[in-house]
Amino acid sequence: MEHKLQLAAENGSADAQFNIALQHLENRTDTDATAVAVAWLIKAANQGHMQAQFQLGLMYETALGAQKNIEISIAWYRKAAEQGYVKAQFNLGLIYSNMQSSHKNPMQALAWYIKAAEQGHTGAQNNIGLMFITGQGLPRDFRKAISWFEKAAQNGDAAAQNNLGMIYGNGKDMPVDYAKAMTWYAKAAEQSYPGAQYNLGLLFNHGHGVAKDHSLATKWFLLAASQGHVKAPYLLAILYESGDEAIRSPEQMLIWYRNAADLGHPTACFKLACFYDAGEYVEENGATAVLWYQKSAIAGVMAAQFALALRYDNGQDVAQDFQQALSWYRKAAEQGHARAQFNLALMYGYGHGSEIDLAEAAKWIELAITNGVSIAKKYKHLFGMPALN
């Protein structure tokens, strides 16, 4: 059989050439197999074989067996797409709709998505909806977005079903309809779509359109988290910490805060830092607290920035470093943390972490006073700070 296939390929059969190429691509033990496969694919593609053209486009786009070259990839995709090959049409849409790419071209993306969508490609239908809802190179049009999402959703596309749920559930550009949101989320969730499972959890967690039910919220968040949804672990931790009495569990709470923190959730990092700081649920460990404060602070959590500044200011579990303290106080102060504003003023007033700067000290003292730190008034006069204009 293989001999006949080889003979047919050598005699110019594009199908045979394509099938031989696939055999070589599947042969992972032969280091030359990929190069041989590309050679056969080119022979087939030059005869107009759509699948070979598409495969070459894919290989040049993903650097699978060929050096990555988007221009060559587009050229091969286009040859297949112009013959009506739906996967190539969709992939061209993806390339042109990537707004981070130098090849971005929303109108080209829309044109190729429409060609694929007209052949029933649900991913293309969904992506057209996304273009209209985000205004990605097009005027925003919720009605057109819904129309395209519905085409995909009715054909079973879970992403489109979830997108419809979000449109009806968010109520940003049209009235909220939690019943419709629930219907579409449920359809997507039944297909194990993690975003929809998470969104169902939100409905039950907040009682939107349904009776509030923390047990069902936990169920859906667990399903979403098990598939790697990055927001679900943090909400699970909150439910296990302060949800209905029946589901509260310090052990589960700690597990899910850790999970969320390991995924980089800034507030979860801060919660863990506080636990280690106070010895609550875990053995007290200041050094570990500092590590989690740092992760949270770097991510922009104001309270973590202030806590970290205090550590550096006082030399608690870290070497005392007034410059670091000043830097973190400033970050928290710029976000409106009143006590950080007061402490920052003191740093400038006493010259800790910087040269004495009474003008800066006065500015931050005034803000601290405005934000309710009454003791700041005493220090304003103590330093003889100039009044602000």
Grade residue 304 by pLDDT with cuts at 50, 70 and 90. Answer: very high
Closest by CA to 80, choosing from 41, 47, 48, is 48
Rg (Cα) of the chain, in Å, rounded? 29
pLDDT exceeds cutoff 70 at 387: no
Q: What is the pLDDT of residue 110?
A: 95
Whether the per-residue pLDDT at 6 is higher than 90: the answer is no
Q: What proportion of the chain, given as a percentage, has pLDDT over 90? A: 79
Range among 20-34, 79-93, 158-172 with highest mean pLDDT value: 79-93
**pLDDT higher than 60, residue 258:** yes
Residues in CB range of 324: below 8 A, 6 or more apart: 309, 312, 353
The arithmetic mean of pLDDT across residues 107-115, rounded, is 96
Q: Which residue has the higher pLDDT, 386 or 316?
A: 316
CB 267 within 8 A of CB 296: yes
175-193 CB burial, b ≥16 within 10 A, e <16:
eeebeebbebbebbbeeeb
Do 201 and 220 touch, CB atoms closer than 8 A?
Answer: yes
pLDDT, tens digit (0-9, with 9 covering 90-100), for 22-66 = 988 887 666 688 888 999 999 999 999 999 999 999 999 998 877
- Quick one: average pLDDT of 189-210? 97
> Among 65-69, 150-154, 184-188, which is the least confidently predicted range?
65-69
DSSP annotation of 387? P
pLDDT (0 to 100) of residue 275: 98
Q: What is the three-state SS of 91-153?
A: HHHHHHHCCCCCCCCHHHHHHHHHHHHCCCCHHHHHHHHHHHHHCCCCCCCHHHHHHHHHHHH
Q: Which pLDDT belongs to residue 388?
A: 46
Cα–Cα distances (Å) from 351 to 342, 343, 354, in that order, read: 14, 12, 5
The one-character DSSP state at 383 is T
Check residue 251 and give its pLDDT. Answer: 97
Computed over every residue of the chain, the mean pLDDT equals 93
* 219 CB burial (10 A radius; 0-12, 13-18, 19+): middle
Higher pLDDT, 309 or 68: 309
pLDDT-based confidence at residue 377 (cuts at 50, 70, 90): confident
| This prediction's pTM | 0.84
Is the per-residue pLDDT at 151 higher than 60? yes
